[in-house]
Amino acid sequence: MERCAFASDLHHFSRRSDQERFEAALRETVSTIDRLVLGGDIFDFKWSTLATHHATVAAAIDWLRELAAVNPSCAIDYVLGNHDFDPLLMEGLRELAVERSGFAWHPYLWQVADCLFLHGDVADRRMCHTKLERKRNAWSSHKRPHPLRHDLYDWALRLRLHKVPGWLIHRPRLVARRVLYYLDQHPEIDRARIRRVYFGHTHVEIDGLEMEGVRFFNGGAPIRNNSFRIMRLELPREPGRMAAE
């Protein structure tokens, strides 16, 4: 079996992220495992504090290269989320996949054996894959908000208003039902084999919640006043890979 880890929703480059607090822990984890799965929203192009979109993409690719260099024998699978579903980043990921044999990326999900990895934005409401594609395409422009909205977001974090979606629409059992609905509608995954689902997006920790024979895992997010952890798991050493486009 491969020693693996899963991390998502770092929201790197945004003001709301405390990603830097976990950088050393992530690198230490990479140094001791065989495979890292990044579960989307690793970078935040909409809320980036860098000067330009191109500068953010360049910094993102540099960060991935540096992370991969920590342990060249550790494979990295990057499943995109809504905040990093970006055409320019995808170009960089294609080049990185050619440059580094152990690196792969997946627009929507990756299934290996009984385990499925996806970002989790299908959990906002019931949706099929076609609706997810439309939703992601709408996100892909990453129009930057007015600078004042960064300050408003900071106040929302101080008041912990960012936890309201978790209470209202991202309750764990409701989220699990929505993810199962998406999986049941998806024409290309091997639904019958799925026993574990690792995802992010909701920023609400879930550790093994079981529904319909499937266990759900979510490590939260390193956002201020929020819990986060890098999740450990095992996968077959020579997985049969399937990426759904």
41-63 per-position pLDDT tens digit: 999 998 888 989 999 999 999 99
Rounded mean pLDDT of the chain? 89
Q: Are 59 and 13 in contact (CB under 8 A)?
A: yes
pLDDT value at position 131? 95
The number of C-alpha atoms within 13 Å of 173 and in the hemisphere containing its C-beta is: 2
CA distance 128 to 140: 19
CA distance 100 to 149: 38
CA distance 172 to 167: 9
pLDDT value at position 15? 84
86 DSSP assignment: -
107-140 per-position pLDDT tens digit: 999 999 999 999 999 999 999 999 999 999 987 7
pLDDT value at position 243? 36
pLDDT value at position 226? 85
Amino acid of residue 213: G
**Is residue 34 over pLDDT 90?**
yes
163-194 per-position pLDDT tens digit: 556 557 789 999 999 999 999 999 899 999 99
What is the percent of the chain where pLDDT is above 90? Answer: 75
pLDDT value at position 241? 40
pLDDT value at position 160? 57
Compare 48 and 229 and report the one with higher pLDDT: 229
Assigned architecture for domain 2-238: 4-Layer Sandwich (3.60)
- Summarize the confidence of residues 10-36 as an average pLDDT: 93
